[in-house]
Amino acid sequence: MPVNPTFYFWRTDYQNKKEETKYLTQFKSKSLYVRIMDVDFNPDVQQAVPVSPIKFSDPLPENINLVPVVFLVNSVFNQLDSQQVDLLAKRVANFVDAKVKQAGKQNFTELQIDCDWTKSTKNQYFNFLKLLQANPVLTNKTISVTLRLHQVKNIISSGIPPVKKALLMCYNMGNLRKYGQQNSILDQHEMEIYLKDYLAQYPLKLDVALPIFEWAVVFRNQQYVGISKRLSKKILLDKKLFRQKGNSILYDLLMDYPEAGLRKGDVVRWEEISSESLLATSNFLSRYLKPEERNLVFYHLDTDLLKHFTNEDFEKIIANF
């Protein structure tokens, strides 16, 4: 079955950078999944508000459709009553429509809602999705949702969102906050546990998202501190600053590093994705996904990340679907 490879765009300022757009051409991408905003609850005004909405410094390329993506912090739905959920659906529809026009597009065919809903937020969230679908601004548009591994396995408690299509997020599956050697971005063992016996039965049409990102996870006294945006692999390999623990992905900080807000003795876990692990993931998924046309979305469009992979790497991964 045909597969349509493309990317997420997850920065707050869209610029049509030649080297990034080149990948869209190379992939023959028809669309780009663009994060429009996050939505979180603001206690001062007691309502859900946009956070860090995107700015379009350039229009999207003419031949690329825009798929707007809105990330909703799950806890929002514990804070809103049904009237406020109705208002949120209207505001999201109007905000997205205006942003798509700012991107130089007159129309869009799909709106993706990204929310890691739970048992306690399920009813409010599903109601929000129905309200979006009924909104006149979104007439004839597909509402799709992101789907985490636990929502596939625990389908009875998680429920099935009232939409026609979901995108399976095959990343952020391990325990990020737990000290240790695990790669929390992509873990084959976790995938087996959550998907092997459940994926083929999942009732919605499924697109797939795969990770190509990397990050530095910081621990202090073996307690999770956060993800450092200031650290790169190159900095971690500076032997004056860091000492690698054996052959592991853990690095000890040898002195205070105030520019990154780090202290001597902090431990950094460097998590990255290899082409081998992506290939293994695509092999696994192709065995259990129903054969149908689908979008394959890499997270995310960034030349610093993309340079870790060759055209051949991508071609093999795409061919598996």
- Is 158 in the same domain as 255? no
Q: Is residue 267 part of a domain?
A: no
Give the pLDDT confidence of 273-307 residue by residue, as tens digits.
999 999 999 999 999 999 999 999 999 999 999 99
CB contact at 8 A, 212 and 309: yes
- Is 23 in the same domain as 83? yes
- Is 180 in the same domain as 100? yes
SS (H, E, C) the chain: CCEEEEEEECCCEECCCHHHHHHHHHCCCCEEEEEEEEEEEECCCCEEEEECCCEECCCCCCCCEEEEEEEECCCHHHHCCHHHHHHHHHHHHHHHHHHHHHCCCCCCCEEEEECCCCCCCHHHHHHHHHHHHHCHHHCCCEEEEEECHHHHHCHHHHCCCCCCEEEEECCCCCCCCCCCCCCCCCCHHHHHHHHCCCHHHCCCEEEEEEECCCEEEEEECCEEEEEECCCCHHHHCCCCCEEECCCCCEEEECCCEHHHCECCCCEEEEECCCHHHHHHHHHHHHHHCCCCCEEEEEECCCHHHHCCCCHHHHHHHHHCC
pLDDT score for 174: 84
- Is 14 in the same domain as 90? yes
- Is 158 in the same domain as 197? yes
Is the per-residue pLDDT at 37 higher than 90?
yes
Average pLDDT, the chain: 96
Is the per-residue pLDDT at 314 higher than 80?
yes
pLDDT score for 1: 77
Residues facing residue 7 across a β-bridge: 298
- Is 172 in the same domain as 235? no
Is residue 231 very low, low, confident or very high in pLDDT (cuts 50, 70, 90)?
A: very high
CB contact at 8 A, 268 and 254: no
- Is 7 in the same domain as 60? yes
Q: Is residue 226 part of a domain?
A: yes
Q: Is residue 266 part of a domain?
A: no
Is residue 14 very low, low, confident or very high in pLDDT (cuts 50, 70, 90)?
A: very high
pLDDT score for 284: 96
Is the per-residue pLDDT at 313 higher than 90?
yes
Q: Is residue 110 part of a domain?
A: yes
Distance (Å, rounded) from C-alpha 19 to C-alpha 262?
33
Residue 20 phi/psi, 5-degree rounding, is -80, -45
- Is 8 in the same domain as 65? yes
Share of residues in the chain with pLDDT > 90 (%): 98
Q: Is residue 190 part of a domain?
A: yes
pLDDT score for 80: 95
- Is 239 in the same domain as 135? no
Distance (Å, rounded) from C-alpha 56 to C-alpha 152?
35
- Is 198 in the same domain as 100? yes
Amino acid at 122: K
Q: Is residue 142 part of a domain?
A: yes
Give the pLDDT confidence of 151-203 residue by residue, as tens digits.
999 999 999 999 999 999 999 988 899 999 999 999 999 999 999 999 999 99
Distances (CA, A) of 283 to 179, 279, 288, 318: 29, 6, 9, 10
Is the per-residue pLDDT at 253 higher than 80?
yes
Q: Is residue 102 part of a domain?
A: yes
Q: Is residue 265 part of a domain?
A: no
- Is 242 in the same domain as 304? no
Give the pLDDT confidence of 130-140 residue by residue, as tens digits.
999 999 999 99
Name the residue among 202, 76, 169, 164 with its Cα closest to residue 128. Answer: 76
Give the CATH number of the domain where residue 24 resides.
Answer: 3.20.20.80
- Is 151 in the same domain as 234? no
pTM comes to 0.96
Residues whose CB is less than 8 angstroms from the CB of residue 48 and which lie 6 or more positions away in sequence, other chains included: 39, 40, 41, 42, 72, 76, 79, 80, 84, 88, 91
Say how many domains are in the chain: 2
Range of the domain at 297: 3-213+272-319
Respond yes or no on whether the N-terminal peptide bond of residue 300 is cis (omega within 30° of 0): yes
